[in-house]
């Protein structure tokens, strides 16, 4: 069974608008972490934002926020005021437990920002 599901293979958004990238996860662990990474066309993997399973507030980092709905097992990434430089692949990932190797990635969503 897929542990991380990203149902949107590709999305388009107009510049300066907000966009939500969906991520659902599956785990029976009580302690886990959720991550979003950005991969621009240049290929590097850039860490964007983290949410711990015990964090009561949604994580925010600048224009990025993580809409964490624990009961629904969803961890959607919200990008506010999209910029052309936001065009990239976005990967949701989960770490089961507190640290280490149990780190799985979703298949990714390709976001295209239109001028």
Partner 1 sequence: DAGITQSPRHKVTETGTPVTLRCHQTENHRYMYWYRQDPGHGLRLIHYSYGVKDTDKGEVSDGYSVSRSKTEDFLLTLESATSSQTSVYFCAISDPSSGGGLDTQYFGPGTRLTVL
Q: Can you tell me the distance from the alpha carbon of 114 to that of 7, in angstroms, rounded to the nearest whole number?
A: 21
Nearer of residues 59 and 79 to partner 1, judged by Cβ? 59
Site of interaction with partner 1 (CB under 8 A): 4, 31, 33, 35, 37, 43-45, 47, 50, 52, 91, 93, 95, 98-101, 103-108
Nearer residue to partner 1 within complex by CB, 3 or 81? 3
Residue 47 CB, shortest distance to partner 1, in Å, is 6
Q: How far is the CB of 1 from partner 1 (least distance, A)?
A: 14
CB crowding 23-58: b at 16 or more within 10 Å, else e: bbbebeeeebbbbbbbeeeeeeeeebbebebeeeee
Q: Which is nearer to partner 1, 19 or 34 (CB)?
A: 34
């Amino acid at each position: 069974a897929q542990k991380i599901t990203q149902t949107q293979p590709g999305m388009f958004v107009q510049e300066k608008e907000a966009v939500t990238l969906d991520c659902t996860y599956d785990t029976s662990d009580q302690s886990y972490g959720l991550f979003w990474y950005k991969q621009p066309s240049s290929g590097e993997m850039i860490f964007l934002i983290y949410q711990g399973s015990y964090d009561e507030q949604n994580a925010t980092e600048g224009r990025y926020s993580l809409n964490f709905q624990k009961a629904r097992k969803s961890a959607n990434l919200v990008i506010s005021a999209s910029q052309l430089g936001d065009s990239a692949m976005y990967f949701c990932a989960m770490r089961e437990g507190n640290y280490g190797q149990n780190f799985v990635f979703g298949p990714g969503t390709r976001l295209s920002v239109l001028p």
